């Protein structure tokens, strides 16, 4: 339900599927610990989370990566902030 609520309130599409090649083309940086909403959704569907904390850590990793690999004030950085506010 949390993922659906995020989708309803924010534009989560840029965070839905990590594309290594696209990231490299845009900012020439490799994300060391990639995470995306597609992976989280798959893990939920396959009951791979042992706790809500594991789920939250994966979602927060998306934000961490967003802020680390995008410039402050960029569209994707700003979108990450909006999504994090909704998640909180």
Could you read off the pLDDT of 47-59 as tens digits, one per residue?
999 999 999 999 9
**pLDDT, tens only, 17-30:** 766 565 555 655 67
Q: Which residues span the domain enclosing 60? A: 2-87
Q: How far is CA 50 from the centre of its chain?
A: 20
Reported pTM: 0.82
**What per-residue confidence (pLDDT) applies to 14?**
77
Residue 31's pLDDT band (cuts 50, 70, 90): confident
- Total domain count, the chain: 1
- Here the CATH number for the domain that contains residue 39 is 1.20.920.10
**What per-residue confidence (pLDDT) applies to 25?**
56
Q: Does an H or E element contain 26, and which?
A: helix 20-27
pLDDT at 13 over 90: no
């Amino acid at each position: 339900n949390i993922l659906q609520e995020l989708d309803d309130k924010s534009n989560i599409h840029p965070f839905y599927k990590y594309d290594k090649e696209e990231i490299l083309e845009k900012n020439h940086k490799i994300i060391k610990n990639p995470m995306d909403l597609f992976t989280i959704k798959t893990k939920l569907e396959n009951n791979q989370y042992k706790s809500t904390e594991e789920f939250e850590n994966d979602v927060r990793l998306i934000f961490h990566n967003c802020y680390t690999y995008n410039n402050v004030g960029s569209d994707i950085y700003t979108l990450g902030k909006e999504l994090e506010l909704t998640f909180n």
